Structure formats: structure tokens, C-alpha cells
Structure 1
């Protein structure tokens, strides 16, 4: 954490930009494991490959293009919408209402926006299960980004323009460290929700978040002054 900044200093932030998956709910929910398997199955069916071959393609495109979807679009002219509908049709029953986060978001000043590489309908379903959807004014999804994913710079600029954000009065929260770098480069404060997933740590040594937490609900509660600061 930047030693010059304390959570209490964020009470006057105008915009909070939140990632969705593994950020607003615990990584232990393993939702992405479901999505990952459906991605592999869809690619296998689309390209006529075995699951083992499709998995290699899926991960190769993720590394080369930022998302497997973008790789399939650029290399195979795949229509993104059926893919997005399919891979996000998962079981969300593992998610529970997060009363602490709900209370913190209620107290937290500023507009709150979701910025996700997923699809809006899926994001809204997740937010509903968590009981926090009413706190967010907008969802900026992968289609809004013209299918250019984080951490590519372009969608960050679109988010800033579309929602009339002053980066110096904004905070971005994400579980993938490298996704915070473009936000920091534009002047935003950054919060890394650190998990045990190795891929979320990729390029972490090139990023210096202002804050790091393993429990976003508790951290937001502190920022919202719902309990005494530990700092």
C-alpha cells in the first residue's frame, strides 16, 4: 500500500470502478471454473476439436489476445454473442448475499460502475445474487469495449469518457494485478483484491497498487467508516 494514502482518504471519491469476477465475490466460489469448462466445450464444438486440443487453443488465445473470445473472433470470425450467452449460463447458487458489502456500498460516496470482461446480463445476475445490484449505476461490459479486453488501454479511455470520470477522483478495484496498471497510468487510485490464483498475479511486479486487500467487503467497510480504522 502507498504509505501516503489511507482508506479514510477515499471518502470523497466521485467514481468507484469495480471489476466483477473474483473481486465482488470470493474466489472460493469458483465460478470461473464453470465458465472455463464451458469455454473449452464451446471452442471444441465450434472448431471440431477434442477437449484437450480445444483447451490448448483456449489458453493460447487468452495469452495472445487477452481473452479466448477475442482470439476466436480474430482467427475464426466467430459471432461473440452465442458464445457469451453459452459460457455465462452457469450455476450461481453458490453465491450468497453479502450484507457487509451491501452496507459498505450504501455508505460509500460516489457513483459505482462495473467494468468487466464478461457480459452485462451475467454481471447483473451475479450482482442480484450478492444483493448489491442496486448500488451500481452502470455495467460496462466486453461488448461496450468493442470486445477489446482489459488491460488494453482503449476501454479504460472509453469508460472515462462515457461516464464523465475525472481519474484523479476515481478508484479502480480488480483482482488481476495487471488490469490496474492502465487505471493508475490515467491517475486513478487502485485497489488489488489479492487472491491465490497465479494467473491473477501475472505482471504484478510491474504494478504498485495504492491498496491491497484479501477481503474487499471488510476493506470497503473500513473506507465507509463503518468500523474504526485499523491504520
Structure 2
């Protein structure tokens, strides 16, 4: 890695408010759920309910027990799907189709976000642990579909979810993205660990009104969260600020 390619402030928190570290970024990588749309849009709770329903039907257990089993799979395997595939040989296509059969009517068009994404220099990608059809429907509901180069979903990742290193490696190989010239936006802190180690600028998306709470928790100890470069509860506003800093 050349001096020019090294991300500014790598491993430090000093640049959290210095948006100039985004200069040179050529690829902007966005998680989907609770990142490109706010958590209040009610999509993810619907997906969780569908997952619990799938587990309940498959294992012939009560819905409340299915919720418990679902969490156990998630913590052990990274996703419920991977747990079901490993322990019950579940067909991934059937599972993904079932759990993403949800109502998107609560997702509102977001012209501010669309404009901010459009003004970012370089290519933009969606990198999700969900599937492509879900990402396409969500992006269409938000009015941001036309601004992305591609969608990298759980199927493209070989059904291996973030935060597994292999998922990121597959994404980089498929897209040709250089991590030291990329930025990653995520609502899960653990999913930023690998991108940050690879040299990406990392942005943690938190629920509206929660930025100062999260920032205070992460700043209790210096470098308590080295994988998080920036925290925001307003993605569109943050991207507008980034665009402004690049002019």
C-alpha cells in the first residue's frame, strides 16, 4: 500500500469529524436494512416475524419458541438461514422468498437521500445480507434505484453473511472495488470491523436521535471502537456534508 493509498487517520478516532478523509473515495458501499431506510419504516420487524413464522412451521414449535431458536441460529451461524441450512438442509431460495414477502407501503420516497447519493463521486453499491429482490423493492420504494452500480446480496456472497471476511472478499473480487478507495455504511458495528481493517472509511448508522448516545458510549475509552470512523443518525444529511467537503 502506498502512502497515497493509506486511509487518513487509520486506526484512530481523531478524524471522526473531518470529512476530508472521504477525498479519493471512488466506491460507496451501503448496507440495506436499517441503513438506507430508517428503522421506523417497519420493514425489518416484518422480516423478523416472517423468519419466526418460517422456523415455527418448519420445526413445529410455538411462535415464541421459534423467536428464541431464531436468535440462537443468528448468534451461532451469523444468519438464521445459515443455521437452518446447516441443521435442517433448508432450501435457501424458498426461505428468502418467504421471509421477504412483506409490505413495503411504509417506505417513503426519499428525494434528499436520492440526490445526496447521486452527487457522490464514483460508483455506489448495495451490500446486503438479504436477497436481491428485497433490495430492489426497497430501493424502488425509496426512489434510489437508479443511483447504484449493482447489488451484492447474500446469494452472491455464497450464502455466507457479513461479518464473515469471505463475504467482503467476494464483494471486492466481483466489483473490483479497492478498499482503500471505498467507504462502508452500516447499522451494525460488527459489520464494520472487516471493512475498516481493509482500509475503508467506516460510517455507523444509528436510529434518529441516537447519535450522541452512541457516540458517547464509543468515546468512553480511546479506541474503544476503532472500526467506527463516523456516526450519524441522518444518512442523507451526512452524505450532503461529505459532498460539500469534497468540493
TM-score (normalizing by structure 2): 0.85
Partner of 1:212: 231
**Counterpart-to-counterpart distance in 2, 1:94 and 1:23:** 15
Partner of 1:156: 168
Partner of 1:108: 120
**How far does the alpha carbon of each residue in 1:160-207 deviate from its partner, in whole angstroms, 9 at most, with x for none?**
11111111100011000000000011111101102389xxx8xx7554
**Counterpart-to-counterpart distance in 2, 1:208 and 1:168:** 14
User: Which of 35, 58, 81 pairs up with 1:69?
Assistant: 81
**Counterpart-to-counterpart distance in 2, 1:158 and 1:208:** 20
Please list, as runs of the form range in 1=range in 2, the aligned pairs for 1:1-231 lying within 5 A after superposition. Answer: 2-4=13-15, 6-195=18-207, 205-225=224-244
Q: Equivalent residue of 2:244, what SS?
A: coil
**Counterpart-to-counterpart distance in 2, 1:4 and 1:48:** 51
- Structure 1 position 12, deviation (Å): 3.1
Structure 1 gap segments, 5+ residues each = none
Deviating above 6 A after TM superposition, structure 1's stretches of 4 or more consecutive aligned residues are none
| 2:13–2:226 contact (8 Å) kept in structure 1 | no
Q: CA RMSD in A?
A: 2.1
Aligned length in residues:
223
**Counterpart-to-counterpart distance in 1, 2:13 and 2:124:** 23
**Counterpart-to-counterpart distance in 2, 1:89 and 1:11:** 40
**How far does the alpha carbon of each residue in 1:33-72 deviate from its partner, in whole angstroms, 9 at most, with x for none?**
1011110011111111111221121110011111111100
